[in-house]
Chains A and B, each alone.
Chain A
C-alpha cells in the first residue's frame, strides 16, 4: 500500500505502529522524502504480510489516525482530475469556487494555478482535484455546473 504522510517528525512511526501491534509483518518500507505530492506530503510505500482480517484491521486503524491511504494492492483509492477554467476567475470569487468544489462529497482541490491575462475576463485557472475512485464522471458534471453558474468556460478531461 502507499500512504501519504505529512513531512514532520514522528509521522512514519505513527503509521508503522499499528501494523506491528496487530501482528502483521512489515516486508518493506520505501520512504523518499524528496518525492512529494501536490500538497507537499510524502508518499510512503509499505509492503506488509498477514491474514486478510488483520490486514483490513490495519487499514482501518491507519485511516483512523488521519493518515491518507493512496493505494492498496496497486489500486488507487483516489483519482486525479484536472480541469481548466477560463473567465473572470478573480471577480467571481476564487475562494468560493474552491469551496463549491470541496463541498462535493469525496472531493478535494489538491492544486490550483492562476494565470492572469491582460483582460481580467480572460484569466485562466488550472485546478487539480482528487476524488474517490469511480466518481470522475459525476465530478466533471458538477464542475461544468459550477462553470455555467459563474460564466466560466470549462475545459474538462475527456
Chain B
C-alpha cells in the first residue's frame, strides 16, 4: 500500500516511527506492505515513488527541521495539493495541525484525495468538526474509505469501538473526558491545591500544555471531539457552532476544595446526547469511572442493550496517536 503523509509534526513523525517499528510484523501478519511515498511539512515535501527511507526521513527532520532537505528526493516549497497530483498513492494520512477556523489545508487535502478515489485516514479534528457531513458524503460518492479514530481520544478506542464492537447496540449518549491537558491541570489542582495559572505554567513547562493553550483550556478541542462523536456515532447532523462550550480557566482552588468536601471532583466533560451538546466543567463522583488522573481520556457510552460501557486510554502522544492511525490503515487494508 502506497501512503502519502501530509503533516510531519509530532503525530506525523509518530506515524513514520510506528511504520518503521512495525513494517515487517504487519507484512507477515496481514500481507500489507506499508510504503511511504511522500511526506509533507511546512517546508515542502520528500517524494519517492519507490518508497522513502523512514530512518533517513526522521533523521533529516531532526537535523534540519525540514523534510524538503531529504537527500535527492526533497522538494522545497511544494504544496500539499501539488504533491497529491505528483505521486501515485493508495491512501492519504492527513495529520497537519488542526485549524478550527476553516479546517484548511486539511479539508482541501482530504477532499482532493477522495475525489481522486483514494482512501483517507486522519487525526485532524478541524475538517471533521466543521464539515463532517460533506466529508462523509464525498467518501460515499467516491467509494473510498474514510477513517478518523485518532481524531478523538488519541489511543483510546471509541469510534471504531462503537461502530464495530458495539454494532448491535444503539448508542444513546456519550459522556467523556476528551482532553488530556485539561485533565492534567484539574488533577494537579485537586492534588496540590494550586491555582489555575500556576498549574497551567507547570503544564506548559512540562510540554503537556501548549504555549498558546486556548484550544485546550477553553474547551475548543473537546468541543471538536463532541461534534465528531455526535455525527459519527449518534448520527446527528451538527457542527462546531452547535456545541455549548465552557472551559476551565475560571476554576478556582476553592471550587475544587468545596467539591471535594462533598466527595466530588471537577472535570472538563464533553456531553453528547440528542438533546445536549456541551463541554463544561462538571462534578463527578470520586471513585467513579470519570475519576481518572493525569492526561488520561475516558468515555462512557450509554447503549440500549449493553447499558454503560466505559473506555479509558492515553489521549495524546506521538506514538499513541499514531497507533490509532496505523489501526485505521490496517482495517482499510483488510476490507480490500
Chain A residues proximal to chain B, CB less than 8 Å: 82-84, 86-87, 113, 115, 117, 122-126, 128, 153-158
Contacts and interface: CB of A to CB of B under 8 A. Distances in A.
Contacts of A82: 262, 264, 283
Contacts, number: 63
Contacts of B264: 82, 157
Contacts of B266: 84, 155
26 contacts: A82-B283, A84-B258, A84-B259, A84-B266, A86-B251, A87-B250, A113-B258, A122-B250, A122-B252, A122-B254, A123-B254, A125-B258, A126-B259, A126-B261, A128-B262, A153-B246, A153-B250, A154-B280, A155-B282, A156-B280, A156-B282, A156-B283, A157-B282, A157-B283, A157-B284, A158-B283
Given A113-B261, A128-B262, A86 B283 contact: no
Interface residues of B, number: 22
Contacts of A125: 258
B175 interface: yes
A124 B283 contact: no
Max chain B C-beta neighbours (<10 A), residue from A117, A153, A155, A157: A155
Say whether chain B's binding surface is mostly helix, strand, loop, or mixed. Answer: mixed
Nearest to B250: A153
Contacts of A154: 280
A86 B250 contact: yes
Contacts of A113: 258, 261
A104 B84 CA distance: 60
Say whether chain A's binding surface is mostly helix, strand, loop, or mixed. Answer: strand
Given A113-B261, A158-B175, A158-B282, 16 more contacts: A83-B283, A84-B258, A86-B250, A87-B250, A115-B254, A117-B252, A122-B254, A128-B262, A153-B246, A153-B251, A153-B281, A155-B255, A155-B283, A156-B283, A158-B271, A158-B290
Nearest to B247: A153
Nearest to A153: B250
A154 B244 CA distance: 13
A113 B261 CA distance: 10
A13 B262 CA distance: 33
A149 to B, nearest CB: 15
Max chain B C-beta neighbours (<10 A), residue from A117, A125, A158: A158
Interface in B254-273: 254-255, 257-259, 261-262, 264, 266, 269, 271
B257 A115 contact: yes
Contacts of A128: 262
A65 B30 CA distance: 76
Top 3 nearest A-B pairs by Cβ distance? A126-B258, A115-B254, A124-B254
Contact of A126 (B175, B262, B271, B284): B262
